[in-house]
A and B are shown apart, each in its own frame.
Chain A
């Protein structure tokens, strides 16, 4: 089925007139983002408010061969995943579906719609003594579902059992317009019947012998549209304490970090270089640059927490156990560095980024490079990246580095934040060059681009033709009309 280029569809019959945007000027904003990828101008934007509307939209689009590009977050975007790659696409804006449908306190799970942001969810959780693990200072308009459907890492590795966490179940519409629910949400029984039996849509597997939630995750909207998700929540600590461990060399933090993960002592646990750290803390570029100079190059941050039972005693034993580990690694935990208290950073980590978003706060632009590998290899990736910076004459001092242990420390998300002034054409070109060359060299070194946005798709998929073949088979099942975000990942632009 070829993409429809001539037929217009009466979307307003589904979402009402106010739910359709056709203004070309407004729509032109969706053909680009703050990154380097350029997209196509969409034909229209539709804003469903209910799952039935989503289903109807997809069914109709499938019938008519219209490309759909779903998105749930608003605000600045950087990765190109929610920009159309084919002309005459329709943006499906789910940000208006922003309800917390259900909060089950005993079972620590929230059922949310795509438009729910971290701030909103965190606030609702706090009222009932819970919290949701949060990525590193996401932007305030970032959708929780959007983030975790992209497998964005969060900052508390011990709660990250599987790559799909903290998503439990999904309700979604496949590219055929069929409604589906994953995990225990699939039944048997309606949701109401399940709740009456004590269920809470908490099991993140199935139904039966397939797991379409895993297929949806990381798919960049190429398989279907999720209309709600249940998110695993955690107990809000009664007490917390943050610490830094600093080092001149990243290597010096590696064994210590491994030991912390193995003992499952810390809650939040992440490594930042001085640029990333300063960018998060500082209010402006002057403050940032001053802090960068004052800080050691590498800062490991961790927090220990106490919950409902003897919270302070828990913090005490964790602190002592960690002190012993640190001593064995010839390191020391401190509560402040360069005049910045760990408490301050801890306070920032539980919330979305303050405005302006920390990555663009100081220079206006930021391009990330991120991939997965293991912590023991992180220093070699950092060294290679620095070499690339030198090659491309881009100041390493403008590059943040963020290393996040995930899956309880079994691998790490390694991220380089290339911060730059988008008004400076020369710098922009250098960043583009660096982005391309560094991405390539990270891939050559073994960096696994598990979330292949933009040019990373080519880097990632040329290495695994067997995966490409398999993914296309799955795509042909869930989106046989190839209407869902065509051109992304390893999927072509046509049907």
Chain B
């Protein structure tokens, strides 16, 4: 329990008792965090209290109160996944759901300014009316836009057109761990939000890198997010249905294709050619196993146990889900012509799904990024992810091949549900960039707790694989405290990052479980745990698949 005086201070700062609680059962609704909980527990440490502020000033007040009373703070928007909650005792959870406004949509200059509790569906709905769109991450449209852009990482289906969350912030409003407000870019000096860089060095560089600080360096209260064109009619007609039964009609210049390549190498070639040709709106791996997970999870076991059917499905494994979404019929005709040529050049073939009855639902579901959640959760109720660093697509394909053979073993021993060991998801980003990601997802039933060790072993193996084979820093590198593992082999980035932490959060007020402790603590921990992490690193570097 918080000291009564502190609790009262929080109540007063929030303008009422109804915005703060320390009732154990209510706190436990914040401590239940099974998703992407790498420990395979469902409970995380219970917060000391939960507060629900409405304004930036209230957030500042909360941070100051906690700081001077030796408490930590951990903020979240939607709060999905374990890293959103406390990493230990003595943490006040800041639930930002009352900060839920879209403050501004600047149509001409293609950005939107949002508060923390605006989800992808909300923002996208308002944007489409204006002929615009936003990047929605693969976890789904239920996720907060601000959180992904400032604090998470940010892969998404439409990355070919809408980039990566970490590359989408413009101006930012940030409550630092000392309670002061820092505004990055134009909002620091003007009333506008059109850029987040400068004057001089860009402080976006301390806000996040490939990944964000997961609330380990303060609380973000507003962000301007780049938005992108929505080609064609500014509406999606919807009839009955809620997901797989949805009747929907996307603009006629939006067409979904399934591209089938004879090998992983040709699959990669297709991606490179698509990127270089500057066509397309959605590019990602079409995972055959995941397809069953979405549409027919109970049938998949039977179907996949039939050798002939399995072989046929396996032949379609190197599948690209690809969407054209064009401004004009002319543009559509051209892009489709190029696409067909690319498939000819790479010995593949395509299926034009726009003629099929489910096209509207599928196209709309892809735009709104609903399918990853379905694919990941429907078969078993839970999932974990791995690999998925962000580099050239050739590297991603190489990593996918390696990780598939590893996942096969874990399916065969019953750790994961059968999905043909297919590398599940990922695509190319930012048009011509030629970089992308592919992540290896394992689906399972968390209730089978006896299989937790196997899941943990898989994650451990993929982490080692990324180090042993130099596959990049990505989703396998996210374990709490993994800076101890990676830092010394990556130019001691952990020292520099922890110095940032120490400079901006000398009291260590922001819960840094999923970020990094202050520098002094890092040095101490390194010294104390040297042997353990040296061995782990050595095992990783000599890991053999």
B167 proximity list for chain A (CB < 8 A):
161-162, 204-205
B190 proximity list for chain A (CB < 8 A):
446, 448, 463
Q: Across the interface, do A219 and B432 meet the contact criterion of CB distance under 8 Å? A: no
Q: Across the interface, do A218 and B202 meet the contact criterion of CB distance under 8 Å? A: yes
Docked complex Cα distance between A409 and B227 (Å): 11
B414 proximity list for chain A (CB < 8 A):
none
B163 interfacial by beta-carbon distance below 8 Å: yes
Looking at A214, A309, A461, which has the most chain B CB atoms within 10 Å of its CB? A309
Of A196, A209, A213, the residue contacting B213 (CB under 8 A) is A209
Q: Across the interface, do B209 and A108 meet the contact criterion of CB distance under 8 Å? A: no
B486 proximity list for chain A (CB < 8 A):
187-188, 207-208
Among A291-299, A382-390, A467-475, the stretch in contact with B? A467-475
A162 proximity list for chain B (CB < 8 A):
163, 167
Q: Across the interface, do B392 and A215 meet the contact criterion of CB distance under 8 Å? A: no
Once A188-B470, A188-B486 are accepted as A-B contacts, the answer to whether A208 and B435 lie under 8 Å apart by CB is no
Residues of chain B in range 168-197 having any CB-CB distance to chain A below 8 Å? 170, 180-186, 188-192, 194-197
B420 interfacial by beta-carbon distance below 8 Å: no
Q: Across the interface, do B504 and A179 meet the contact criterion of CB distance under 8 Å? A: no
Among B136-144, B239-247, B272-280, the stretch in contact with A? B272-280
Docked complex Cα distance between A367 and B203 (Å): 28
A376 interfacial by beta-carbon distance below 8 Å: yes
Q: Across the interface, do B516 and A202 meet the contact criterion of CB distance under 8 Å? A: no
Q: Across the interface, do A470 and B182 meet the contact criterion of CB distance under 8 Å? A: yes
Docked complex Cα distance between A454 and B496 (Å): 29
**Count of chain A residues near B, Cβ 8 A:** 101
Q: Across the interface, do A449 and B202 meet the contact criterion of CB distance under 8 Å? A: no
B202 proximity list for chain A (CB < 8 A):
163-164, 214-215, 217-218
A375 interfacial by beta-carbon distance below 8 Å: yes
A154 interfacial by beta-carbon distance below 8 Å: no
B322 interfacial by beta-carbon distance below 8 Å: no
B337 interfacial by beta-carbon distance below 8 Å: yes
Among A3-11, A135-143, A258-266, the stretch in contact with B? A258-266
Docked complex Cα distance between A197 and B401 (Å): 12
Minimum C-beta distance from A254 to chain B (A) = 8
Binary contact track A171-194/B, C-beta < 8 Å → 1, others 0: 000100011110110111110011
A464 interfacial by beta-carbon distance below 8 Å: yes
The chain A residue with its CB closest to the CB of B198 is A450
A477 interfacial by beta-carbon distance below 8 Å: yes
Q: Across the interface, do B110 and A408 meet the contact criterion of CB distance under 8 Å? A: yes
Q: Across the interface, do B198 and A477 meet the contact criterion of CB distance under 8 Å? A: no
B201 proximity list for chain A (CB < 8 A):
214-219, 222-223, 471, 474, 489
The chain B residue with its CB closest to the CB of A192 is B470
The chain A residue with its CB closest to the CB of B190 is A446
Q: Across the interface, do A466 and B209 meet the contact criterion of CB distance under 8 Å? A: no
Q: Across the interface, do B209 and A471 meet the contact criterion of CB distance under 8 Å? A: no
A190 proximity list for chain B (CB < 8 A):
470
The chain B residue with its CB closest to the CB of A171 is B491
The chain A residue with its CB closest to the CB of B430 is A161
Docked complex Cα distance between A376 and B108 (Å): 8
B200 proximity list for chain A (CB < 8 A):
218-220, 222, 450-452, 457, 460, 471, 489-490
Of A197, A204, A376, A450, the residue contacting B395 (CB under 8 A) is A197
Of A307, A477, A478, the residue contacting B277 (CB under 8 A) is A307
Docked complex Cα distance between A235 and B338 (Å): 16
B473 interfacial by beta-carbon distance below 8 Å: yes
Docked complex Cα distance between A236 and B13 (Å): 59
Docked complex Cα distance between A198 and B198 (Å): 34
B301 interfacial by beta-carbon distance below 8 Å: no
Docked complex Cα distance between A269 and B110 (Å): 17
Minimum C-beta distance from A414 to chain B (A) = 12
A262 proximity list for chain B (CB < 8 A):
110, 131, 229
Docked complex Cα distance between A420 and B526 (Å): 60
Once A200-B391, A446-B191, A474-B203 are accepted as A-B contacts, the answer to whether A211 and B209 lie under 8 Å apart by CB is yes
Minimum C-beta distance from A320 to chain B (A) = 6
Of A186, A223, A308, the residue contacting B473 (CB under 8 A) is A186
Docked complex Cα distance between A151 and B163 (Å): 20
Minimum C-beta distance from A177 to chain B (A) = 13
Of A161, A183, A208, A376, the residue contacting B477 (CB under 8 A) is A208
Docked complex Cα distance between A478 and B495 (Å): 11
Q: Across the interface, do A186 and B204 meet the contact criterion of CB distance under 8 Å? A: no
Once A208-B210, A374-B192, A410-B226 are accepted as A-B contacts, the answer to whether A474 and B489 lie under 8 Å apart by CB is no
Looking at A188, A258, A461, A470, which has the most chain B CB atoms within 10 Å of its CB? A188
Minimum C-beta distance from B239 to chain A (A) = 29
A363 interfacial by beta-carbon distance below 8 Å: no
B208 proximity list for chain A (CB < 8 A):
205, 209-211
A321 interfacial by beta-carbon distance below 8 Å: yes
Residues of chain A in range 388-417 having any CB-CB distance to chain B below 8 Å? 407-411
Docked complex Cα distance between A203 and B490 (Å): 15
Q: Across the interface, do A108 and B434 meet the contact criterion of CB distance under 8 Å? A: yes
Docked complex Cα distance between A151 and B435 (Å): 22
The chain A residue with its CB closest to the CB of B332 is A317
B109 interfacial by beta-carbon distance below 8 Å: yes
Q: Across the interface, do A411 and B199 meet the contact criterion of CB distance under 8 Å? A: no
Docked complex Cα distance between A416 and B499 (Å): 40
Once A179-B491, A208-B497, A310-B334 are accepted as A-B contacts, the answer to whether A198 and B206 lie under 8 Å apart by CB is no
Q: Across the interface, do B515 and A198 meet the contact criterion of CB distance under 8 Å? A: no
B466 interfacial by beta-carbon distance below 8 Å: yes
Binary contact track A147-161/B, C-beta < 8 Å → 1, others 0: 000010000001101
Minimum C-beta distance from B534 to chain A (A) = 15
Minimum C-beta distance from A48 to chain B (A) = 20
A interface, CB within 8 angstroms of B: 106-109, 151, 158-159, 161-164, 174, 178-181, 183-184, 186-190, 193-194, 196-200, 202-220, 222-223, 232, 234-235, 258, 262-264, 307-310, 313-314, 317, 320-321, 324, 372-376, 407-411, 446, 448-452, 456-457, 460-461, 463-464, 466-467, 470-471, 473-474, 476-478, 489-490
23 sampled A-B residue pairs with Cβ under 8 A: A151-B197, A159-B432, A161-B431, A164-B202, A205-B167, A207-B210, A209-B210, A210-B500, A215-B203, A215-B206, A307-B276, A321-B328, A321-B330, A376-B108, A446-B190, A456-B199, A457-B199, A463-B189, A464-B199, A466-B180, A467-B184, A471-B200, A474-B500
The 7 closest A-B pairs by CB, nearest first: A189-B470, A214-B205, A450-B198, A206-B210, A198-B395, A198-B394, A463-B189
* Given A214-B201, A317-B328, 4 new contacts (CB under 8 A): A199-B391, A199-B392, A464-B199, A490-B200
B interface, CB within 8 angstroms of A: 106, 108-111, 131, 163-164, 166-167, 170, 180-186, 188-192, 194-206, 208-214, 216, 226, 229, 272-273, 276-278, 327-328, 330-331, 333-334, 337-338, 341-342, 389-392, 394-395, 397-399, 430-435, 466-467, 469-473, 477, 483, 486, 489-494, 496-497, 499-500, 503-504, 515-516
